[in-house]
Amino acid sequence: MELREGLLEQQPVRVKDIEGVQKTFFDTILDVFSGLRAKLIVPYVLLTMVIAMVGVYVVTNLVTSSIRERFINQLFEASRVVADGFVRRESGHLEDLRLMAYMEGVSEAIQERDAEGLQNMLWPIVMNNQIEAVTVIDLEGQEIMTLAVEPATNQYLVSSGGDFSQFDMVMNILKGEMDQIGDKYADFMITSFGPYLFTDAPVRDSSGQMIGMLMIGTRLESVLGDLKSQSLADITVLDRSGSFVATTLVMPEEGVEVLEVDPQTITQSDASMTHKLELYGRDFQAVIAPLIIRQQEMGILSVVLPSNYIVSTMATSRNIFSLIFALGTIATIVIGYVLAQSIARPILRLRSISQAVAAGDLDQNTGFERSDEIGELASAFDTMTMRLRDRTAEAARLYAETIERNKELADINARLQSTQAQLVQSEKLASVGQLTAGIVHDVKNPLAVIKGLAEELHEELGLDPSTRAQLTTIRDSASRASNIVTDLLKFARQSTPEMQRRDMRETIQSSLRLTEYLTRKGKVEVTIDLPDQPVMVTFDAQQIEQVLINLFTNAVQAMDHGGSLRINLGRAKGAIAIAVQDTGMGIPKQNITRIFDPFFTTKPEGEGTGLGLSVSFGIVSRHGGTIEVESELGWGTTFTVLLPEEPTQPIK
């Protein structure tokens, strides 16, 4: 009893002790969460965790989207490469067809149905150009001769006597029909050696009469093999009806889903579409687009790439970024807890200074002189501000230098492009000059004889008017041909300029005097803008005068109903600039790059040889200068001749 009573007497003391301990614990917890440390840490931790979770989600989606976008771009690029490959192969067929059709003796052999002769004539081209199949067909659609590679032995086989009249591409040629581009056709054809891509063209005799046709083909297996190595993707080809033609895929027993395509869903307005499919237990993505050759839809292309790695990449990226953000979150919380204990008091001061620095005031200073962590932070902040100030000044200086360097690079690039254009044009002029120089003398003398005999016969008495008119036509035609040959001779004999220092104003005025009658006859108002002081330049006055006369003449001829011609002389980019501006019809954009090509002209037949601008370009190039042209249809054209101010060595 005494023991029990003693125990009962001790219980209230223990309960009080427990209550005291609990009160002390809860008070401590309350103090912790109501203090500055908790106010800094708790929101910081929550915000960091939210940002980490959002960051994982956003970054993972961005990475996945980027991968998916690159994959789709790769797929479309592979489709473009494949489509371009078919067009290039068809262009190669056309080149081989032209070479064969115009070969001497081919048309005669077709008329005589000489299969052996055709084989002997076409064999070198077939071997050199690695042509897989060539077929010669007569006007009845019957096969005269075929040379084709047998896939099993890789040897050429010769056949004849087949009937090709059942094929539309053959009958289109034999009927004389033409597509949007010309009188040639391309299509797929199923043969005993498999599907082929064929291109056919008519063969004509010397009188222009069609006597037969040629077909050149390449096995689709070869075409698709080359295109697969270029595009790094599998390819399937369907015909216009959506039926399977050929593929690089390994065909599973249950069929290939990518082959099940409705051709009505592929139109010119919706050029391509993507398509998901599953093959061999793996996910694939395909781009399905119309196969356009010679501006006509020949069939459907399906380009396929495996897409299952996108899912695995998405999962891997999510795990990696989750781990990175988790570690970053933990590190941020720990650092925040440590910093919260030491930056509570001076935080406002640092905040205000930071805001001033962020606003661009880099002359701020904390003014703290302490030996603890706050002092080190303040010292580091001051050092950072000083370095930021120095680096900002250095960045401004480097930015200015970068802008200046970019301008220099732009000028250098422009000069390089101009030089490249001049080299290309010079090569064209040199090639044409070599050709014309060799034939012009042999042509000019017979023309002189024709003209002389026509004039002599014209003087005969007793000629009836019809004969006299025909002799006049012969004489005039011979004169025009002689003028053309003379122009060719001048073009071929482009000489090295005789450089002398002269006043460019005098040459311009001399050129205007020589074309005064032409401008007056064309009702063209001429405006001259020349400096008051002499413009001394080293150049060949006769050749530059020839260039200016040609430009003035072209300008007047471009203004059928009169207009305004403005000639300006000034300086630009270290050179003197002669601008010839007219208000004529203008030059189409597609002809701007061709106007300096030899024999290219848009004038009516009989009014030009197409050599004027080519000769002018060569003259200016040999002076070390350039010709620039700007034109807008319906508003006019401006030719600008740029010649270097400093003496240069003439280009030979």
Please report, rounded to a whole number, the percentage of residues in the chain having pLDDT higher than 90: 13
For 495-546, how does the pLDDT look when each residue is reduced to its tens digit (9 = 90+)? 567 788 889 999 999 889 888 888 888 889 999 999 999 989 988 888 888 8
pLDDT of 257 reads 47
What distance in Å separates the CA atoms of residue 218 and residue 200, rounded to the nearest whole number? 12
User: To which residue do tokens 């422009």 refer?
Assistant: 414
For 4-63, how does the pLDDT look when each residue is reduced to its tens digit (9 = 90+)? 444 334 444 444 444 454 546 555 555 545 555 566 667 767 777 777 777 777 766 676
Residue 191 scores a pLDDT above 50: yes
CA angle, 447 then 450 then 452, to 5°: 105
What does pLDDT average to over the chain? Answer: 78
Determine whether domain 500-644 maps to CATH 3.30.565.10: yes
Q: Which residues of 272-310 are buried (b: 16+ CB within 10 A; e: fewer)?
A: beebebebeeeebbbbbbbbbbbeeebbbbbbbbebeee
CA separation (Å) from 315 to 235, 281, 330?
Answer: 29, 20, 23
Domain boundaries, the chain: 35-341, 500-644
Range in 120-129, 288-297, 386-395, 608-617 with the lowest mean pLDDT: 608-617
Residue 568 scores a pLDDT above 90: yes
Tokens standing for residue 468: 């006299």
Residue 340 confidence class, pLDDT cut points 50, 70, 90: low
For 289-320, how does the pLDDT look when each residue is reduced to its tens digit (9 = 90+)? 888 888 788 888 888 887 766 666 666 666 77
What distance in Å separates the CA atoms of residue 471 and residue 429, rounded to the nearest whole number? 36
Q: Which residue has the higher pLDDT, 283 or 318?
A: 283
User: pTM for the full model?
Assistant: 0.41
Residue 620 scores a pLDDT above 90: no
Give the 3-state DSSP-derived string for 158-210, with helices as H, strands as E and coil as C: EECCCECCCCHHHHHHHCCCCCCCCCCEEEEEEECCEEEEEEEEEEECCCCCE
pLDDT of 572 reads 81
CB atoms within 10 A of CB 406: 10
pLDDT of 3 reads 36
CA separation (Å) from 26 to 14, 22, 499, 629?
Answer: 19, 6, 105, 89
Residue 375 confidence class, pLDDT cut points 50, 70, 90: confident
Range in 16-30, 75-89, 151-165 with the lowest mean pLDDT: 16-30
pLDDT of 38 reads 63
Please report, rounded to a whole number, the percentage of residues in the chain having pLDDT higher than 70: 74
The helix/strand count (H/E) of the chain reads as 15, 18
Range in 37-41, 259-263, 464-468 with the lowest mean pLDDT: 259-263
Range in 78-87, 155-164, 226-235, 327-336 with the lowest mean pLDDT: 327-336
Instruction: Please give the backbone phi and psi of residue 572, each rounded to the nearest 5 degrees, phi first.
Output: -160, 130
Residue 574 confidence class, pLDDT cut points 50, 70, 90: confident
What distance in Å separates the CA atoms of residue 159 and residue 115, rounded to the nearest whole number? 9
Q: What is the CATH number that goes with domain 35-341? A: 3.30.450.20
Tokens standing for residue 433: 């000059």
Residue 168 confidence class, pLDDT cut points 50, 70, 90: confident
Residue 133 confidence class, pLDDT cut points 50, 70, 90: very high
Distance of CA 209 to the CA centre of its chain: 40
Residue 265 scores a pLDDT above 60: no
pLDDT of 284 reads 78
Residue 198 scores a pLDDT above 60: yes
**Pair 211, 111: CB distance under 8 Å:** yes
The HSE-up count of residue 180 (CA atoms within 13 Å, CB side) is: 6
Residue 608 confidence class, pLDDT cut points 50, 70, 90: low
Residue 140 scores a pLDDT above 80: yes
pLDDT of 514 reads 84
Range in 67-81, 119-133, 167-181, 435-449 with the lowest mean pLDDT: 435-449
pLDDT of 13 reads 42
**Pair 529, 489: CB distance under 8 Å:** no
Q: Computed over its alpha carbons, how large is the radius of gyration of the chain?
A: 42
Q: Which helix (H) or strand (E) holds 478?
A: helix 465-492
Mean predicted confidence (pLDDT) in 425-434: 61
Strand, coil or helix: what is 311?
helix
> Where is mean pLDDT largest: 4-13, 176-185, 195-204?
195-204
pLDDT of 641 reads 93
